[in-house]
């Protein structure tokens, strides 16, 4: 029995090591100058800091990949979540030339922040600096709503 258990344990160790060679890319796409929302909308400094701390890590091309994003199978989940976040909303690829689309995005941001959907609870459990208190949440919602009316 112990020989079989050791053999199984050895196979598991080899499998875990082999999985490390299947990590997704951690390259952030090149930023297009002038397309970042902070460059185009120039929010107040407190609002810019809030967006950077709570949103940009997933919703931009400025992702800072944590150590666990290099360890399979966690790396697959992190990469999938970042890809989905960028596809849904990307602050690094803001529709400068389409005010109607930009207004819709601001409205959606306001709705999701107000409803507590963003930042994601599973993200803020690990990344405490991304948490928004009630006042910050209200300030962000108010500012995003104002942007959606421009």
Segment 31-88, tens digit of pLDDT: 777 778 888 767 889 999 999 999 999 999 999 999 988 988 888 899 999 999 999 9
Triad 39, 44, 48: Cα angle to 5°: 60
> What is the model's pLDDT at position 15?
62
Q: What is the signed CA dihedral for 98, 100, 103, 104, rounded to 10 degrees?
A: -110
Domain of residue 59, residue span = 2-148
Q: Residue 6 pLDDT > 80, yes or no?
A: no
Distance CA 28, CA 115 (A): 29
Distance CA 88, CA 109 (A): 11
> What is the model's pLDDT at position 142?
95
pLDDT-based confidence at residue 13 (cuts at 50, 70, 90) = low
Q: How many domains does the chain have?
A: 1
Helices (H) and strands (E) in the chain, counts: 7, 0
Assigned token pair, 96: 């400068």
Q: What percent of the chain has pLDDT over 70?
A: 87
């Amino acid at each position: 029995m112990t020989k079989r258990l050791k053999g199984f344990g050895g196979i598991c160790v080899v499998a875990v090591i082999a999985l490390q060679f299947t990590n997704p890319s951690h390259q952030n796409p090149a930023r297009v100058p002038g397309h970042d929302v902070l460059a185009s909308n120039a929010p107040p400094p407190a609002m810019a800091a809030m967006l950077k701390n709570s949103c940009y890590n997933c919703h931009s091309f400025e992702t800072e990949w944590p150590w666990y994003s290099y360890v399979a199978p966690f790396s697959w989940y992190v990469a999938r979540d970042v890809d989905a976040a960028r596809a849904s909303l990307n602050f690094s690829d803001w529709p400068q030339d389409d005010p109607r689309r930009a207004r819709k995005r601001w409205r959606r941001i306001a709705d999701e922040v107000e409803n507590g959907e963003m930042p994601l609870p599973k993200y803020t459990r690990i990344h405490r600096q991304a948490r928004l208190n009630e006042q910050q949440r209200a300030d962000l919602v108010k500012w995003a709503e104002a942007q959606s009316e421009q």
